[in-house]
């Protein structure tokens, strides 16, 4: 039953999908990262449903693509985008490490975070509109799963910048072997899904997607260690949003090859 409870905790933490309220015990928290990619699957399912609805209602690629950008934010409640904004505010301060960590904790959003968010959403919207115009928006389904599998690895295995917070909690309590096995399975499944959806170019699409998100993953580790001394929940959100943008743009480039 602890596995089911961990799934419910993962959904309640990383999505706005209603689930029964349960106690967040140490044992149940230990498996939360094993279920994190489930949220990516749900985003992919909702995206495909939206594509079908847009086709039925004969919406143009602009509306289809823009709603496609909004869907992940609606489903997750913007928790990862919040980390993305806070991280850019901290990085843009050019302050000492402790100053950056203080900025991450600040609930207020600075100008640099707002600018980063605006640029990010415009770039994603442009790519999604183009994918919608080419009727290949469905290619993004594995992106949301792969990025969460990699994010789970970072939360469980990367050093933490502080002893408290979400990232630190999971790094301390997650059963690392179980997390490694589960996240590896999710990662492999996302690669296979990308291969399948890519059709005749499936190998190129899958390997390219893994390469792009893998590059962001290692950049994320280097940046977090250099600038913050480890990861935090906000930095994990920054990685997830950055990997998502990279995956979306790779899908567009793949369509143009």
Would you state the pLDDT for residue 31? 81
- What pLDDT digit, counting tens, does each position of 98-146 carry? 899 999 888 888 899 999 999 999 999 999 999 999 999 999 999 999 9
What rounded mean pLDDT belongs to the chain?
A: 91
How far CA 204 is from CA of 182, 190, 246, in Å, comes to 25, 14, 15
Q: What is the pLDDT of residues 47-95, one digit of tens each?
A: 999 999 999 999 999 999 999 999 999 999 999 999 999 999 999 988 8
Average pLDDT of span 219-243: 95
Interacting residues of 241 by C-beta distance below 8 A, sequence separation 6+: 80, 81, 83, 84, 120
Closest by CA to 38, choosing from 90, 73, 93, 76, is: 76
* pLDDT tens per residue, range 143-190: 999 999 999 999 888 888 876 555 545 555 557 788 899 999 999 999
Q: How far is CA 2 from CA 9, 20, 26, 178, 186, in A?
A: 10, 14, 10, 13, 19
The token duo for 68 is 């496609």
- pLDDT score of 236: 94
Count of C-beta atoms within a 10 Å radius of residue 211:
12
C-alpha count within 13 angstroms, C-beta hemisphere, residue 221: 15
Instruction: Tell me the whole-structure pTM to 2 decimals.
Output: 0.92
């Amino acid at each position: 039953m602890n596995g089911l409870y961990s799934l419910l905790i993962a959904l309640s933490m990383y999505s706005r999908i209603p689930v029964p309220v349960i106690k967040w015990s140490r044992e149940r928290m230990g498996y939360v990262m094993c279920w994190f990619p489930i949220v990516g699957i749900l985003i992919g399912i909702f995206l495909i449903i939206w594509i079908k609805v847009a086709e039925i209602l004969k919406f143009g690629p602009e509306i289809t693509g823009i709603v496609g950008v909004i869907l992940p934010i609606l489903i997750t409640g913007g928790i990862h985008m919040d980390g993305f904004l806070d991280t850019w505010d901290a990085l843009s301060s050019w302050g000492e490490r402790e100053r950056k960590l203080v900025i991450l904790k600040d609930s207020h959003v600075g100008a640099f975070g707002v600018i980063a968010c605006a640029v990010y959403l415009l770039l994603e919207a442009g790519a999604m509109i183009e994918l919608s115009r080419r009727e290949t928006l469905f290619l993004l389904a594995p992106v949301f799963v792969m990025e969460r599998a990699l994010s789970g690895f970072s939360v469980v295995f990367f050093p933490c910048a502080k002893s408290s917070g979400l990232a630190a909690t999971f790094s301390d309590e997650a059963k690392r072997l179980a997390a490694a096995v589960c996240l590896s399975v999710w990662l492999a499944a996302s690669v296979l899904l990308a291969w399948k959806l890519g059709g005749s170019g499936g190998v190129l699409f899958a390997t390219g997607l893994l390469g792009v998100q893998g590059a962001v993953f290692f950049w994320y580790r280097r940046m977090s260690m250099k600038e913050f001394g480890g990861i935090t929940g906000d930095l994990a959100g920054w990685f997830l949003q950055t990997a998502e943008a990279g995956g979306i743009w790779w899908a567009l480039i793949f369509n143009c090859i």
